[in-house]
Each structure stands twice: as C-alpha cells, then as structure tokens.
C-alpha cells in the first residue's frame, strides 16, 4: 500500500518509561518558589478545601509570606545542577537508561515545576513511544502524590489525538526488593558513621490526619515499610531501637502523629545522645531531607543535649537503589520488552 504524498512521518514504535517525582522550584529565589508553591498548593489533591475558601488564604497570605522563607531554605542545599531533587531524579533517569539499554527510552518529570509531566509525556509520544510506563517514585501511595501524578497524566492524554498505551508502577512500600535495598544502603551508611546510634528514626513525610480518616492508605503503608525494615535491620543491629515519625507539617490542621520534631526532642530529653535518621518514604534527597532534617533536625537535637546526629541519604542513584528500580521497572515492562 502506498501512502499519500501528504502522509505525516510516523517514527518506529518504541517503549518509554517516565519517572515522576514531586517537584521543585527552578531557582532558590522568592519569585521561583512562589511560582512553584502556587502550582503545588493549588492542587485539590494536596489541599482538600473548597477553592473559594482556600484560594484567598493561599494568594493573600501564604504566597506573600512563605516564598522568602522557603527560598532561604532551598539556598542552603542548592547545587550546581539545581535542587537536590532535580539533580538526583535526573541522575536516576540517566542511570536507569544505561541499565535498560536502547530498547527503552527513559525520561523524568516533576508533578509541579520542570521538567513538566505533560511536556515530557508528549515528548516521549512524539519520539515514537506508543507504550509508556509511568513510574511515580513514591514507595507509599497517597492521593496527594501518586493520584495527583496520574491526574496530570490523564490531563496530558486528554489533549492527544493518538494516545500511547499506559501502565503505572504500583506502590512498592512492602516489596522485598525495596526493603532489601533500604537494608543494604542503610547498613552501609551506618557502618561508615564515626559513632554507633542508639536509635534510628524513620521519618516519613507527613499528611493531614483527615487523609487517613478518609481512607488514604499512606499511613498504613508507611508503618508496614517501617516494620519490615526494622525486622530486617534487626539481624545485624539487634540493639538498634527503631522509632517512626512524620515530618513537614503545614497549617493548623491535625497531622499524622508523632511528629519528627517532637520525637527528636523526646529522644534528647530521655537521654539519647546518638541519633540517626533515615527517610524510607523518599526516593531521592530533597529539601525535606537535606534542610529540614540534616540542618534543622541536627540543630534541634544538639541544642537539646544530643551529641552525635546523622541524617542518612535516601537511596538516590546509588547501586542498591538503582538495582531495585531496574528490577521493578523490568517487571512492569514484562510483555512489552
């Protein structure tokens, strides 16, 4: 069959993988942070309040006060490649591309900010990817993270005449590969410390308590990750006490308990002098790990009487984390590759 002379060029069919993380401002400046926060905090999955009630608060108060403070925090951890989250997510995509080879095209995107999720999905489609695996890099599921990412995917697909086939990486909070990668990487970092922690605090990102009451599985999945990780760490660290907390509170609503700041204070108050913190709900280091914990958390612990403190790195693009991610991705690509 001969195509008509005006027939558009169609690239050969390819397989795509799109890694998705939360997002980051483009620069550590109040203007860039304000733009990022406006997008982030306008998502009804993130703030579940009626827009007529929330938007005046957001635009009249929060966006006129919070950007300067947040910009200062970002400036303390900014790198030549951008924010830690931006740099590490890009490195994860590059490392995954090397592992999967030329048969799969790997890209990365942010739910808020750049590279924009819709634009990257469209770019993969233009490049000929007719089958695309969306991989939200959230081990635990929440409506505010995984579901929001899929909302953005759906919005992008709505504007496409020729839509690719889509698969989604499921939450992997209790996957043996995830628990094994966390164990290997945390034990590696603990062995490299100049002190032996008395306690290991597993700090997860906080969510309003209302999300649990409405049926969001996030809290339960965090607790299961912590339990499984604690059990496997017990083999080599039987005397290491494991605690669980939730960080990054915002606003006046009740949030998941206990808070990370309260546990840090309580540990110092009861005589703990050597504390380490790990963040098994984060796939890559970001403002919440490198500024909130490694800087402010450390200052809080030392001021309260602690002596030694370590904020451990996330899995990032390290060997254990990338081997896990490759395994999860290959499993979800079965039948396509």
Task: Give pTM, 2 decimals.
Answer: 0.95
Q: Which helix (H) or strand (E) holds 39?
A: helix 30-41
Residue 159 lies in a domain: yes
- What gap in Å lies between CA 324 and CA 179, rounded to an integer? 9
- Confidence (pLDDT) at 251: 81
- What gap in Å lies between CA 44 and CA 40, rounded to an integer? 9
Same domain, 142 and 200: no
For residue 252, give every residue at least 6 positions away whose Cβ sits within 8 Å of its Cβ, in sequence order, or none.
none
The torsion angle over the Cα atoms of residues 214, 47, 281 and 245, rounded to 10 degrees, is: -70
Closest to 297 in 3D by CA, of 267, 323, 325, 318 = 267
The neighbouring-strand residues paired with 134 are: 18, 168
- What gap in Å lies between CA 24 and CA 31, rounded to an integer? 13
Pair type for strands 308-311 and 241-247:
unpaired
- Confidence (pLDDT) at 253: 87
Q: How far is CA 87 from CA 7, 146, 196, in A?
A: 40, 21, 30
CATH code of the domain containing 278: 3.40.50.1400
Same domain, 49 and 98: yes
Domains in the chain: how many in total? 2
- What gap in Å lies between CA 250 and CA 229, rounded to an integer? 28
Could you check whether the bond before residue 115 is cis, i.e. omega within 30 degrees of 0?
yes
Same domain, 156 and 226: no
Residue 2 lies in a domain: no
Residue 121 lies in a domain: yes
Residue 1 lies in a domain: no
Residue 7 lies in a domain: no
Same domain, 161 and 200: no
Same domain, 196 and 300: yes
Q: Which residue has the tokens 């006129």?
A: 64
Report residues of the chain scoring pLDDT below 70.
1
Look up the domain containing 211 and give its range: 176-311
- Confidence (pLDDT) at 1: 66
- What gap in Å lies between CA 79 and CA 126, rounded to an integer? 31
Same domain, 48 and 29: yes
Residue 32 lies in a domain: yes
Same domain, 180 and 67: no
- Confidence (pLDDT) at 59: 96
Same domain, 94 and 185: no
Residue 5 lies in a domain: no
- What gap in Å lies between CA 98 and CA 181, rounded to an integer? 19
Report whether 154 contacts 148 (CB < 8 A): no
- What gap in Å lies between CA 162 and CA 152, rounded to an integer? 17
167 backbone dihedrals φ, ψ, rounded to 5°? -120, 160
Q: How far is CA 114 from CA 4, 42, 86, in A?
A: 39, 16, 9
Same domain, 208 and 133: no
Residue 140 lies in a domain: yes
Same domain, 35 and 159: yes
Same domain, 267 and 293: yes
Same domain, 43 and 138: yes
């Amino acid at each position: 069959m001969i195509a008509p002379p005006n027939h558009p060029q169609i690239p050969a069919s390819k397989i795509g993988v799109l890694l998705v993380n939360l997002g980051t401002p483009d620069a550590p400046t109040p203007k860039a942070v304000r733009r990022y926060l406006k997008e982030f905090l306008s998502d009804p999955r993130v703030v579940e309040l009626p827009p007529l009630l929330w938007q005046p608060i957001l635009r009249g108060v929060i966006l006129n006060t919070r950007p300067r403070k947040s910009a200062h925090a970002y400036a303390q951890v900014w790198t030549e490649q951008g924010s830690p989250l931006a740099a590490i997510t890009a490195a994860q995509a590059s490392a995954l591309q090397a592992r999967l080879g030329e048969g799969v095209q790997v890209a990365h995107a942010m739910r808020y900010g750049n590279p924009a999720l819709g634009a990257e999905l469209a770019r993969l489609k233009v490049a000929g990817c007719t089958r695309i695996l969306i991989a939200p890099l959230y081990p635990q599921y929440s409506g505010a993270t995984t579901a929001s990412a899929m909302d953005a995917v759906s919005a992008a697909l709505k504007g496409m005449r020729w839509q690719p086939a889509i698969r989604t990486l499921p939450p992997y909070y209790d996957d043996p590969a995830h628990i094994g990668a966390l164990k290997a990487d945390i034990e590696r970092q603990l062995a490299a410390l100049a002190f032996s922690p008395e306690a290991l605090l597993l700090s997860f990102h906080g969510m309003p308590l209302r999300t649990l009451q409405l049926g969001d599985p996030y809290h339960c999945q965090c607790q299961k990750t912590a339990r499984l990780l604690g059990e496997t760490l017990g083999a080599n660290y039987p005397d290491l006490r494991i605690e669980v907390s939730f960080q990054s509170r915002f606003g006046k609503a009740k949030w998941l308990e206990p808070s990370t700041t309260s546990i840090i204070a309580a540990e110092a108050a009861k005589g703990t002098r050597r504390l380490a913190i790990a963040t098994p709900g984060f796939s890559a280091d970001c403002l919440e790990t490198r500024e909130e914990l490694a800087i402010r958390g450390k200052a809080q612990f030392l001021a309260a009487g602690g002596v030694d403190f370590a904020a451990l790195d996330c899995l990032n693009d390290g060997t254990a984390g990338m081997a896990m991610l490759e395994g999860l991705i290959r499993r979800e690509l079965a039948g396509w590759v």
